[in-house]
Structure 1
């Protein structure tokens, strides 16, 4: 389905073409990071739609779906910004049920979320698969931290300064803007520009 051409869609078509140029064939994972409430989820959703428009099989996931439960986080101490940054997400589950099976290029199924953070409840796994050529677009806070770096093929960061204490910790450890393949300014969300 052809999307209505707006400045945002035109921008994302250029970004999608750059991603596809690197992508070629097989499975690829695009990670979208940025400060809290920066617009990264909407950007990832729209990028996924533009990649689908270009004929790619696209899957979407959010780091929010890989939160640790509150009880699991409590095992790491008091509820602080540092605990949230360091232990708020279940990176092992992310790798085990999403990234690694997705990379198997269709020979096994994968799961795009394990927890509903709003209800603090595990979700029934919905195992999905797709063609050998596919793109996974994943967004979330801290996805460009160094220990996850080898998981991503293309890195997008929504430009902006850290908003809260957890963001400040993340940016002090490793500013995602320094490792981005594309740095996107969403000061005017309908007219994104590349930095």
Structure 2
């Protein structure tokens, strides 16, 4: 990733600015539901930013739905086929991308019905969550968060990558998750998410983010 000019900002202000930008976002494919990615490693907490934006949208009278990819894990027998700490499996086979296409993105196509499944699989019980579908009204905004989102050709209308430097990622990842670090190094090398995303937020210091918006 080349040199990027970044501006210091607070998380509160960032959530407000992103929400304001989404109000006027029109999907290129004619879908009435804008689809937004909050991409980043768990240690970068992209889900917190997604929820912050969702709250800012609510205050503005706009409906949104936050969906985390952790709710779409593959069954343990598949995602742990090569052991509990296989970085390549974590990168390639942890998430049920087929279910995400079928239950989230398909219903939000231009000819979809807007009925989205917010989650599918409980990793603790290793069973289906049986959550009810959520009806997202026209103009409602999908806010999806999780790692590796920018490598699946998902039809996002705006993508935000929450970036941690390799050192910050290592420091902020719990000891039990250090084995995942090679997967994020591979993602950086193959996808360069900081350059691929429409917007980048650097979060090395969790109290003082900076962005290129």
Deviations 1:94-142 (A, max 9, x none): 0101111133577352201101123322211411212111101000011
Query: What SS does the corresponding residue of 1:30 show, helix, strand or coil?
Result: strand
- In structure 1, distance between residues paired with 2:129 and 2:113: 23
Counterpart of 2:64?
A: 58
Does residue 160 of structure 2 align to residue 156 of structure 1? yes
Farther off after superposition, 164-173 or 117-126: 117-126
Query: What SS does the corresponding residue of 1:23 show, helix, strand or coil?
Result: coil
Query: What SS does the corresponding residue of 2:135 show, helix, strand or coil?
Result: coil
C-alpha contact 1:39 1:186 (8 A) present in aligned 2: no
Does residue 28 of structure 2 align to residue 11 of structure 1? no
Does residue 107 of structure 2 align to residue 101 of structure 1? yes
Gaps of 5+ in 1: 1-5
| Counterpart pick for 1:171 among 178, 185, 188 | 188
- In structure 1, distance between residues paired with 2:205 and 2:83: 38
* Matched pairs, number: 187
| TM-score of the two chains, using structure 2 as the length reference | 0.78
Deviations 1:173-195 (A, max 9, x none): 21211111111123444543213
Q: In the TM superposition, what are the counterparts of 1:12-161 in structure 2 within 5 Å?
A: 12-23=15-26, 26-75=32-81, 77-79=82-84, 80-103=86-109, 107-145=113-151, 148-161=152-165
Structure 1 residue 159 displacement after superposition: 1.6
